[in-house]
Structure 1
Amino acid sequence: MTVDLTPVTLAEKSMLSNLYQLYHYDFSEYTSEDINQEGKYDVNIDFIWEGDKRWRPYFIMISGTIAGFVIVLLENLDTDPDPTHVIYDFMILKKFRRSGVGYAAAMQIFELYKANWSLAQMESNTPAIAFWQKVLKDYTNDHYTETFRDDARKYIQTFSTKE
């Protein structure tokens, strides 16, 4: 099984938007978000393509099939020539979870950018916390920092892929 990251183009925006519906569905377990009167989650991803160069959307692919997506944000790119890179959103379709796809995709995304990184997970999303702790322990040889922000109720991990 080969996992590939493919940049999402403007022409593929509707596919990513559809995946965001599934992402919000999965996430509603932690956010208690409800669907709207049309039976959808209120999702607008236009900001990714509105001239803001900080956003890097990727499909996570397996043999030409979409298995999920990852959105990287180059935080403060407009004011800092060396921005912190943030995993803004990360989603693996359920049929591909616990198969190593997410792990492989995470490792690849960190290899794409030599940068300072920051990741965050909601306190209640224990599967995501465990996933990222495992990935970061392996990727950094346990050389990352984790803090808990009580005000945001989030775990935040920071590390660097710079040489």
Structure 2
Amino acid sequence: MYEYDFSKYTGRDIDRNGKFEVNINYYWEGDERWNPFFIEVAGKLVGFIVFLFENMDTDPDPTHVIYDFMVLQKYRRSGIGRKAAIEAFKMYKANWKISQMESNLPARTFWRSVIEGFKGTNYTEHYVQDRKKYIQEFSTRD
């Protein structure tokens, strides 16, 4: 479902079996850099969030990157995604990075709103031209 939703930004197509070729096994295979969590509401699975502890193998205090984030469409614009993101930020005292594809305006709008609601203007944003991504950075250490 995530790949389906995201295909309008990535341009990916399904394979001959009607599926998106996706392998997320590495999330669950013991590599401590990957930290997947499900988002639940009233016992129902409504989405997920995946943190990547960037450069964990070389940095004893890695930056925490929100690598993947999804809320099922029927639960969007209900505050569930915002609440899940803020709870995620509160889980770790860390430096954080969140990026969005240039073409994904809804994601940029969402993350800017969430971060501003959580940190005010105490964050930075920059655009990476060669990757065509916007990146917000902030810290929850203070």
Range 96-105 or range 44-53, more displaced: 44-53
Q: Does structure 1 residue 32 correspond to structure 2 residue 7?
A: no
How many residues are treated as equivalent by the alignment? 142
How far 1:51 moved relative to its partner? Answer: 3.0
**Number of the residue aligned with 1:70:** 49
In structure 1, distance between residues paired with 2:33 and 2:128:
24
In structure 2, distance between residues paired with 1:50 and 1:92:
24
| Matched residue SS, 1:130 | helix
In structure 2, distance between residues paired with 1:162 and 1:122:
27
Unaligned runs of 5+ in 2: none
Tell me the C-alpha RMSD between the 2 structures. 0.7
| Matched residue SS, 2:130 | coil
TM-score (norm 2): 0.98
Q: Does structure 1 residue 46 correspond to structure 2 residue 25?
A: yes
In the TM superposition, 1:103-118 aligns within 5 A as 103-118=82-97
| Matched residue SS, 2:38 | strand
In structure 2, distance between residues paired with 1:49 and 1:135:
28
**Number of the residue aligned with 1:152:** 131
**Number of the residue aligned with 1:142:** 121
Unaligned runs of 5+ in 1: 1-21
